[in-house]
Amino acid sequence: MNDNHPAGQGSTRPLTVADVLALPVLAAGRPQVVTGVPHLDRPVRWVHITELTDPASFLKGGELVLTTGMPLPQDAAGVRRYVDELADIGAAALVIELVRRYHRPPDPLVDACRRRGLPLVTLAKDVNFLEVTQVVHALLLGNQTDAMRRTQRIHEAFTALTLRGAGPEDVVRAAAEMSGRTVVLENLVHQALICEPSGLTVEEALADWEQRSRAAVPGDNAARRGPEGWLTAPVEYQGERWGRVAMLPARTEGPAFGPEDITLLERTAMALTVARLIHPTPWERTAHRNALLDLVEQRHRSAEDARARCSALGLPTDRSYFIAALVDLRAGKGGAEIESRLLQELRTAGVPALVGELASDRIGILLALRTAQPWRPVVERLSGTVLSPAPGAVVSVGSEATDLTDTARSFREAARVAEATPPGQPLPPDRSFHELSDIGLRRLLYALREDTRVQEYTERQLRRLIDHDIQHGTDLLTTLRHYLDAAGNKTTAARRGGLSRETMYQRLRTIERLLDRDLESGGQRTELHVALAALDVLRAD
């Protein structure tokens, strides 16, 4: 739905007093608004022609009352009573023709209408009241027909979403697209889990979310609430309330929410209930996962949007620094249980964090910490939580990030640590997680093991020696390894290989001839040492 169309047939908003006065059939009478200018946006439900002294008894509210002025009481008290009855019943406006009885509106009538805030409109020229009713009623009936069609489209759209098992993100996105307004799903503690902005940025929609949301006191039905006039509806099933969906007003002045918006929000709440029942993953976990993925992949529109979204999920964005950690389960099982354990441990420790599954076998963690709070004990505690039920898991950590938007770097570093950690890699003696400083040559080569350039380099450096060993049953590769590990010390290499010095010298000369290398050169020894390390990694993998 879109509120930017003018009122009339095909419009999406009610016909107002101002709209009716602008119609050619009434504009011909040169209408002049005497009182109630601020209330010209009142919706007109019907047009009623009357020459009775008590027309209110025939009204239900929302009528534009047309009169020649003939039935108006003579005395001021009677005029006040006449106006009070119209105002009490909720008439939209009083239009009086200044042709037959009056040539200017009586002062008591003006005073009474001004006192009650009832729009009083005078017509300087004769107008065919019957023609006015025909035109306006045709527009109203046309609007009602269009409204019924639009309501039917709403029901059809959300029925289709439900039948195909749409998730909560799909439901909220559809509500935002159909309403042309920002729609937000929140949980019971006023954390914004899903936000689909329309006409607003994420920052504008979610800034100070919890405080603003608490001001819009929850209710049991779809209605406008709070100082900002949010349209909200509870999301619940059989008396159990799971959260609330909110539709936010447009940023600029515009028409208020109408019946179709209420219908749309009610269907949104129903579709979210079904989505909750058929999708077992709790909404909070999905929200954390999506927020982490947006940070990792830097998908946010701006830094402000990123802060607003994370803050609305309960992550303090004004903390001194952030730390990214990854849990790789390797076996690919038990992710939901590990995620629950991590969340519980963080709540117990009182550490704000986002925790979410980034892949089928990888869980991401973003910690928000203050300067005086060291991150190592926190990660150590989390590692213990993980390694107990999943002993083969690997916990890797990136470096500190002082700004939320820089956490993508910390996650990349943690991912590099994980990629450089072979299965069964021993942990350092003083901790149960891996970090950047653990990546030496062998672990770097392990991370690059699938790169064909590393494989080609290894083969180019060592192929002739390996082929010789295979063809002649020798073990020159091991001799080279002892020599390089001994940093070129032939005596030490001979002792490690259980060889005489003469045999060692002879083998080294053979190796130099086969590889066309000078083993006295430190640079060439380094190249061969790297190739041997890469060969070990490739063979182990």
Determine the 3-state secondary structure of 342 from DSSP.
helix
Asked if residues 244 and 210 have their Cβ atoms less than 8 Å apart, the reply is no
Sequence-distant (6+) residues with CB within 8 A of 37 are 119
Burial 127-150 (b: 16+ CB within 10 A, else e): bebeebbebbeebbeebeebbeee
Residue numbers of the chain with a pLDDT score lower than 70? 1-13, 140-151, 251-255, 331-334, 541
Q: What is the pLDDT of residue 397?
A: 95
Q: Which one, of 361, 364, 358, 363, lies nearest residue 331 by Cα? A: 361
Q: How far apart are CA 352 and CA 372, in angstroms?
A: 15
What pLDDT, on a 0 to 100 scale, did the predictor assign at position 149?
A: 63
- Tokens at 178, concatenated: 């159909």
Rounded to whole angstroms, the Cα distance separating 335 from 328 reads 9
Spatial CA neighbour of 114 closest among 39, 187, 41, 182: 39
For the chain, report the end-to-end CA distance as a whole number of angstroms.
58
CA dist., res. 326 & res. 109, Å (int): 76
Minimal CA–CA distance to 420: which of 436, 409, 408, 431?
436
Asked if 393 contacts 328 with a C-beta cutoff of 8 angstroms, the reply is: yes
296-344 pLDDT, tens digit per residue, is: 998 888 889 999 999 999 999 888 899 999 999 876 566 788 888 899 9
Burial of 467 (0-12, 13-18, 19+ CB in 10 A): exposed
Per the rule left: phi > 0, alpha: psi between -120 and 50, beta: everything else, 378 is alpha
20: tokens are: 């009716």
Beta carbons of 29 and 124 less than 8 angstroms apart? yes
pTM, two decimals, is 0.66
- Which amino acid belongs to residue 347? R
Confidence (pLDDT) at 1: 47
Q: Look-up: residue for tokens 């029942």?
A: 277
Nearest partner of 383 among 397, 362, 400, judged by Cα: 397
Both structure tokens of 442: 């062998």
- Residues 506, 508, 512, 517, CA torsion sign: negative
As a whole number of angstroms, the distance between CA 514 and CA 471 comes to 13
Q: What is residue 367's predicted lDDT score, i.e. its pLDDT?
A: 95
**Whats the size of the chain, residue-wise?**
541
DSSP string covering 150-208, please?
A: HHHHHHHHHHHHHHTT--HHHHHHHHHHHHTS-EEEEETT--EEEEE-SSS-HHHHHTT
Rg of the chain in Å (alpha carbons)? 38
Distance, CA of 471 to CA of 464 (rounded, Å): 10
List b or e across 59-89, with b for residues whose CB sees 16 or more CB atoms inside 10 angstroms. Answer: beebbbbbbbbeebeeeeeebbbbbebbbeb
Are the C-beta atoms of 350 and 368 separated by less than 8 Å?
Answer: no
CB atoms inside a 10 Å sphere around CB 171:
27
Q: What is the dihedral of CA 245, 250, 255, 261, to 10 degrees?
A: -20
What the block records as the tokens of 332 is 């690919």
Contact between 64 and 17 (Cβ < 8 Å) = yes
Q: How many beta carbons lie within 10 A of that of residue 9, not counting itself? A: 13
362-369 sheet: strands from edge to edge:
353-359, 362-369, 321-328, 394-397
What is the rounded (10 degree) CA torsion for 308, 309, 310, 313? 120
Give the per-residue pLDDT at 72.
82
